[in-house]
Copies of this chain bind each other. A is one copy, B any other.
Amino acid sequence: MSAEIICVGTELLLGDILNSNSQYLAQQLAQLGIPHYYQTVVGDNPERLKQVIEIAISRAQILIFTGGLGPTPDDLTCETIADFFGVPLIEDPEIIEDITEKFAQRGRVMSPTNRKQALIPQGADILPNPTGTAPGIIWQPRPEITIFTFPGVPSEMHRMWTDTAVPYLKNQGWGQEIIYSRSLRFWGIGESALAEKVAPYFNLPNPTVAPYAGKGEVRLRISAKADSETAAEALISPVEKQLKDIAGLDYYGADDQTLAAVVGNLLRLSGETLSVAESCTGGGLGQMLTDISGSSDYFWGGVISYDNSVKVGLLGVNPEDLDKFGAVSATVAEQMAMGVKTRLSTSWGLSVTGIAGPSGGTETKPVGLVYIGLASPTNEVTSFEYRFGGMRGRSLIRYVSANAALDLLRRKLVVRNS
Contacts and interface: CB of A to CB of B under 8 A. Distances in A.
B37 A42 contact: yes
Interface stretch (A17-25, A81-89, A408-416): A17-25
Contacts of A322: none
B13 A23 contact: no
Given A26-B15, A393-B155, A283 B302 contact: yes
Interface in A73-111: 73-74, 102, 105-108, 111
Interface in A170-204: 179, 181, 183, 190-193, 195-196, 202
A162 interface: no
Interface in A221-238: 221, 223
A19 B14 contact: no
Given A23-B15, A357-B293, A107 B285 contact: no
Contacts of A38: 40-42, 48, 52
Contacts of A329: none
Which of A15, A112, A190: most chain B Cβ within 10 A?
A: A15
A175 to B, nearest CB: 16
Nearest to A299: B306
Contact of A70 (B14, B213, B287, B368): B213
Contacts of A281: 287, 290
A306 B301 contact: yes
Most buried by B among A38, A130, A345, A394: A38
A14 B43 contact: no
A25 to B, nearest CB: 7
Say how many copies of this protein the assembly contains.
Answer: 2
A378 interface: no
A294 B359 contact: yes
A206 interface: no
A319 interface: no
Contacts of A51: 59
Interface string A133-144: 000000000000
Given A18-B18, A278-B283, 14 more contacts: A12-B26, A12-B39, A14-B26, A14-B223, A15-B26, A37-B42, A38-B48, A40-B41, A72-B195, A113-B192, A283-B288, A287-B398, A290-B304, A291-B394
Q: Which 10 pairs, one residue from A and one from B, show the smallest C-beta to C-beta distance?
A: A283-B286, A282-B290, A283-B283, A15-B26, A15-B27, A39-B41, A300-B307, A301-B310, A283-B287, A301-B306
